[in-house]
């Protein structure tokens, strides 16, 4: 029988239902030591999270730098191959190839890049080229997207059409135009004469008779903003590479190099007193990856 006592339900035996119901006791407030311990745990978790995130960022930075170093090193490969090809061409023909071949009106119609194809293991491609028509003629246009890898610097976007490996051409250089030059013409010293370099964001078709051109004694340097006037340049995170006539070895060139010093390095018989060693000592040129440039 269920009765009521003072408004509280009772069970047989007189025990109240409330007494048999599990009760949740109020938790006592944490002691100061417990509060400090909890805060320490949370701080440890937060610190570990920050360190982990920093580690990920640091690892990403190291991976990026390693990839960039590898690309910079591989970007020198095409220029080294080019210099070797130029010297082999000179050995066979007794002269360097001209910057271009011209038609009867003096208009450039064939590039040096075509002339050295046999010297970069591209004899079959050379045999397909038709010298009786311009570089962009009906037959030669079929070769427009078959650029050999020797004409592509690795740190630029992949392309089978546009070259970023170029000669330094114009008056006073080793490649003045349609006239070839010889090693004996380089009286400034082969170690002080730049032959070739790279150019970033290139829109130069590899078959086109176009390169970096010295005009009014000015050697274009950096991103000129004019696709028809490319300069010595590379991707933003490194210095561009140039090669000299004396050895198969690339040199990084500072964007801060004085224009007159840069011009002196492109002439073959200018008689300028400045030398490559001077520019290395002054921090404008470097032939080691750890060399500090201006």
Split into its structural domains, the chain has a count of: 1
Residue 267 lies in a domain: yes
Residue 8 lies in a domain: no
Average pLDDT over residues 208-215: 97
Residue 12 confidence class, pLDDT cut points 50, 70, 90: very low
Residue 265 lies in a domain: yes
Question: Do 212 and 184 contact (CB within 8 A), yes or no?
Answer: no
In total, the chain counts a number of residues equal to 294
pLDDT of residue 153: 86
Residue 37 lies in a domain: no
Residue 7 lies in a domain: no
Residue 64 has pLDDT above 80, yes or no: no
Residue 172 lies in a domain: yes
Average pLDDT, the chain: 85
Tokens at 294, concatenated: 């201006």
Q: What share of the chain in percent tops pLDDT 90?
A: 65
pLDDT digits (tens, 9 = 90+) for 217-272: 999 999 888 888 999 999 988 999 999 999 888 999 999 999 999 999 999 999 99
Average pLDDT over residues 52-62: 62
Residue 19 lies in a domain: no
Residue 93 lies in a domain: yes
Residue 115 has pLDDT above 90, yes or no: yes
Domain span including residue 149: 76-286
pLDDT digits (tens, 9 = 90+) for 175-199: 999 999 999 999 999 999 999 999 9
pLDDT of residue 16: 45
Residue 166 has pLDDT above 60, yes or no: yes
């Amino acid at each position: 029988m269920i009765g009521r006592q003072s408004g509280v339900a009772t069970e047989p035996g007189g025990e109240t239902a409330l007494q048999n119901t599990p009760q949740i006791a109020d938790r006592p407030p944490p002691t100061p030591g417990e509060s400090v311990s909890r805060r320490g745990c949370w701080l440890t978790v937060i610190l570990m999270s920050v360190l982990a995130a920093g580690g990920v960022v640091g690892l990403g930075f190291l991976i990026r730098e390693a990839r960039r170093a590898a690309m910079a090193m591989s970007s020198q490969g095409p220029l080294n191959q080019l210099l070797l090809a130029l010297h082999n061409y000179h050995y066979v023909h007794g002269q360097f190839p001209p910057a271009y071949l011209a038609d009867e009106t003096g208009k450039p119609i064939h590039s040096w890049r075509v002339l050295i194809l046999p010297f970069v293991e591209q004899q079959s491609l050379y045999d397909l080229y038709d010298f009786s028509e311009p570089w962009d003629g009906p037959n030669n246009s079929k070769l427009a997207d078959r650029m050999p890898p020797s004409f592509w610097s690795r740190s630029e976007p992949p392309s089978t059409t546009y070259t970023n490996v170029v000669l330094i051409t114009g008056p006073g250089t080793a490649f003045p135009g349609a006239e070839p030059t010889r090693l004996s013409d380089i009286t400034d010293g082969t170690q002080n004469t730049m032959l070739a370099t790279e150019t970033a964001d290139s829109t130069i078709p590899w078959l086109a008779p176009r390169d970096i051109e010295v005009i009014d004694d000015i050697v274009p340097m950096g991103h000129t903003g004019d696709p028809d006037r490319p300069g010595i340049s590379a991707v933003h995170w490194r210095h561009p590479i140039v090669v000299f006539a004396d050895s198969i070895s690339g040199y990084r060139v500072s964007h801060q190099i004085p224009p007159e010093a840069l011009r002196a390095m492109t002439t073959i018989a200018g008689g300028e007193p400045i030398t490559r060693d001077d520019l290395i000592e002054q921090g404008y040129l470097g032939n080691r990856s750890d060399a500090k440039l201006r």
